[in-house]
Structures are given as structure tokens and as C-alpha cells.
Structure 1
């Protein structure tokens, strides 16, 4: 439990600093948007490239990848179907909402919990890979095609081919994987600045998240899409851990520490990256912000209950 408390304390402090910065306007009126764009275009691609180049691929391609990836796809699909048929949302909002329901905070909270609670950081690596190389590219390409103004004369087919290659996060992830598979190691003069930039991704995303909370009321009637947020939060914090338990327990026969780790990872809150994406495309920002905050608060008692039942 001390690891859980420590991980959440770090997050709340940095988010609180971001909130104070936004509240006092020390960085100006457009600081949140500028910082979010830095995370999107610079910090996160550098983090992905460096992380993948230095990762052990044998640890990544394991049963955890199937369990984490399958459950994330399932939650995203359930959200898409319900929000489309019941709430009648447009595609960009459907994409952001599905990410809010399935995209796990695998870095700034997942890594501390994996280290301090699970005593094994390798549990988080497969999920990080899945989100980097599969879930994010699918969502970002869809947003590129549906949320941005199309360039005159471009066809949908051409857009679908070009969009992945112009998205910095996708490019960073794919480039890192290729270098890792080939067994190459760039010189220190290249890796050191990439590590410096990548290290800024998590705190910058948390600061941007804190800034986004300035002057807003979470779940505010008349402004906040309450049904969308409630649907995403319930899927993320209730349905996803239960789904992972069923898949890991009866699908892969896991018990003990392995089963406990899988369920804890599934109970991590929505990542702040979803808000970064929403800000980049200017769609679904309230859904991303409110779901991230609600699930972060809800994950504290949720992980505590899981620890009591399965640890």
C-alpha cells in the first residue's frame, strides 16, 4: 500500500503545481495548449523512441500483452458501440471517449506501482508497447482523418496512407521498435538528448492536466457530457479490471502474483495522454479531462480493494 500511496502522491503534487500555474497565469493564457503541443510533438515521441530502443522485446511479447491488449480493445469497442447507438456522438468524440475508457496510465503511475507494489517493472512493458504501437496509432490516424480539416484535393485513401507517417507519436514508436528489432544502439550523443526530452513527457503532461483544471467544474451540469464520462469511467475502473481477472484467471490459468499484477494494471486510471490528444485535435477535451480526474481518484480505493483481495 505504501507504493500505491507514493505513486499517487507524486501525481497529485505535480498536477497541483500545474493547477497553481494555470490559476496564477504565470505562464500566460495559452500555456496549457503550448505545453500540450510540446508533449505531443516533442517529449512523447522522444520518450517512446528511447524506451523502445532500450527495452527487452522478449519481456514485451508475452501473455501480458495479449491480456492487456485484448481487454483494452474490448473496453474501447464497448464504449464505441454504446456511445454511437445511445449517445449518437460524432467519430472524434467516440475516439477520445474510447481512449478514456481503455487507455491506461502506464507511465507516470503504472511504473511506480509496478516497481513499488508489484516489485517487477516488466509487468507494465507489454501494455506500454500495445498502447504505443497499436492503440495510439489506430486512434490518432482516425482523428487525423476525421477531426482535422482536409487539404483540398486529397483523397481519403491518400490521407489514410500519409496520416500515420506524419504523426510524431506514431513515428517515434515505430522508429524505436525498428531500431530495437535490428539490435542497433544509437550513439550516446543521440540517446542522451532523446532521454532528456523523453524524461520531460510525464511531468509536462501532468502539468498540462493540472492547468486544464483551472476555472472548471468537473461533471458540471449543462457543460460536461456526464453520460459519456460516466460510461468511460465505469468501463475503465469496473469493467476492465473484472474483464482482465476473467481472462487471466480462466483464459491463461494465472494465479497469485501474476493474476494480482494483471488486475492492478487494469485498474490504473485513464492516462493524461488522452487529454493531450484531445487538446491536439480540439475534440472531446472535457471527456478526456474529467474521466482522467475521476478515474485517478477512483483508482486509489479500487487498487486498495484489489490488494486486499488478491495480494
Structure 2
């Protein structure tokens, strides 16, 4: 347990540093927006492309890991939809609030997952999380859009827009480009490798600083059933479910650790954007994201200790 905490402590401290930087005003307003865009469109794509282009897939259980994560996603989505009447009748949680819980449970923060995997597993951890992204990002976008369209009453994006969002997603594009280079056997020039290494080395710390900057601890003064359920099911239920499917599909070792990490990290900041766009409860979504991020500092080490 102590070894797990020691591996994750640097990530926790960098998140705390981001929170302090934002609260002291060293970086403010639109400046954070620029840093986030740099991270999203340049730094993380660099590390994902290089990792996928150079990884030896023959040593990784790609298909079994993908099957594990997809099975966990579909099962949890079905469970959440089945619990929808309970949320409404017991706690009076309406459609828009339900969609924020749904997104909070299903989505995952790739920034944190990559950083945790790098610390806990090493370089192979980054590659394994990149594999998880290939399977998870497209299907999660589609599922969450459909649920928001059904229960939040907002205008759903057209199929063309959903597809455009997927094929213009810099994470997906960089992974697919790296996969193409990997399968082609073409070497990456040493100058390009060095450039990607420099960019990629900034991706994890800058991305995690941005996560800390987005925390709003003042939103957690009155945690209710919607906030607590969206947090507990994500941070405890999802990793347990994913581990169960990992046992079924024979996922072990570093791949199991990467699977647990992907299932244990907080939800993604993009959930807040989608909630605002489609009529979900954006305020609740922000509260869920904050509480999950804070609580995950304790639950991720616990899940890794118990399940890996």
C-alpha cells in the first residue's frame, strides 16, 4: 500500500500545485484556457503518437484489455439506466441531474490516467492507457450524447457532428497516426523522436497542473445524494466492475493495473462542456468533477492495492 501511495504522491502534489497556482493568480482567466489548449492539441498528442508508434503490441493483451473496458462501460451504462427510476423516485433527481451523474460515472480523465500509469507502471503504462483510449473515447462520446439527448432535453448533435468530433479529436488522431507508423514499420527520424520527447515530457505535468487549477473546493460544502452517488459509483464501483471483467478475459500484470487505473480516475472535464451544451446540470457536473478528483487521491491507491 505504501509503495502505491509513493508512486501516486507526485501526481497528487502536482494537482495541488495547480490548485495553488490558480488561487494565487499566477495564471488567470484566458491564460489557463491557452495552457489547456496547448496541452490538449500539442503536448498530449506528441506523447501518444510517439508511444504508440514505438510500442511492441505483440507484448500487450490489446484485444482482451479492450474487451474488458468495453464490457465494463456497457454494463455500467445499463446499470445506471436501470437505476434511473430509483434516483427519481427516492431522491427526486430529475433528468438533467441524472445525466451529470451518468457522465460522472462513465467518463474518465485521460490526463490523470496517463500520469498515474507513468508513475505506477512506467513507460509501458503510458502505452497501455493509450490503448484504452482507442477503445473508450469513441464509444463514451456516443453513449453520453445519447443519454443527454434523451434525459436532459437538450438538442442532440447530428450524427455528422458526432463523427466530426471523433475524427478531429487530437487524442484519437495522434493514436491512429502512431498506429499507422507502428504497423508500417517505418522508422521515426531521430530528430523527430527527440522533438516528440521534449514535447511529451511536458504533457503529463502541465496536464495535471490544469486538473488542479480546475478544482473548486467551495462547491463541496453541501454534498447530496446526486453528488455522492456520482462519486462513489465511479471511484469504487467502476474499478471493481472492470476488475471482474479483467478476470473473465484473462487480463493480468501491467495491463490489469492500467485497466484499474482507467476505471479509477475521475471523470473528464469534457463532461462539463457537454452538460452545458446539451442542457445537463452543469453545476452538479462541476461539483462531481471536483469531489471525484479530491477523493481519487485516496481511492486510486486503495483500488490499486486491493485489485492489482
Name the TM-score class by shorter chain.
0.7 to 0.9
- Superposed, 1:1-311 pairs within 5 Å as 1-58=1-58, 59-79=60-80, 82=83, 86=87, 87=93, 88-89=95-96, 93=100, 96-100=103-107, 105-115=112-122, 122=124, 125-130=127-132, 132-140=133-141, 156-213=158-215, 216-221=217-222, 226-249=224-247, 251-252=248-249, 258=252, 262=256, 265-266=259-260, 270-271=264-265, 274-275=268-269, 277-278=270-271, 284-304=285-305, 306=306
Residue 10 to residue 140, structure 1, CA distance change in 2 (3 Å): same
- Give 2:279's aligned residue: none
**TM-score when scaled to structure 2?**
0.74
Shift of 1:25: 0.3
Partners in 2 of 1:246 and 1:253 — Cα distance?
A: 10
- State the aligned residue count: 285
Rounded to whole Å, the distance in 2 between the matches of 1:103 and 1:200 is: 15
Structure 2 match to 1:152? none
Gaps of 5+ in 2: 88-92, 150-156, 277-281
Change (3 A) 1:293 1:192: same
Q: Equivalent residue of 1:107, what SS?
A: helix
In 2, are the aligned partners of 1:72 and 1:103 still within 8 Å (CA)? no
Q: CA deviation at 1:11?
A: 1.2
Call closer, same or farther: CA 1:170–1:128 in 2, change over 3 Å: closer
Mind listing any 5+ residue stretches in structure 1 that lack a counterpart?
Answer: 116-120, 148-154
Distance 1:169 1:16 in 2: 25
CA shift at 1:302, angstroms? 3.9
In the superposition, relative to structure 1, how do residues 36 and 161 fare at CA in structure 2: closer, same or farther (>3 Å)?
same
- Answer yes or no: is the 8 Å Cα contact 1:60–1:125 preserved in 2: no
- Structure 2 CA distance, aligned partners of 1:278 and 1:127? 19
Query: Offset of 1:4 from its aligned partner?
Result: 1.0
Distance 1:26 1:4, change over 3 A: same
SS at match of 1:27: coil
How far off its partner does 1:171 sit? 1.5
In structure 2, relative to structure 1, the CA distance for the partners of 1:240 and 1:196 (3 Å cut) is same
Q: Secondary structure at the match of 1:89?
A: helix
* Separation in 2, partners of 1:293, 1:259: 27
Higher helix share goes to which structure?
A: 2
Q: Which runs of 4+ in 1 moved over 6 A?
A: 101-104, 141-147
RMSD: 3.7
My pick for the range that moved more, 237-246 or 35-44, is 237-246
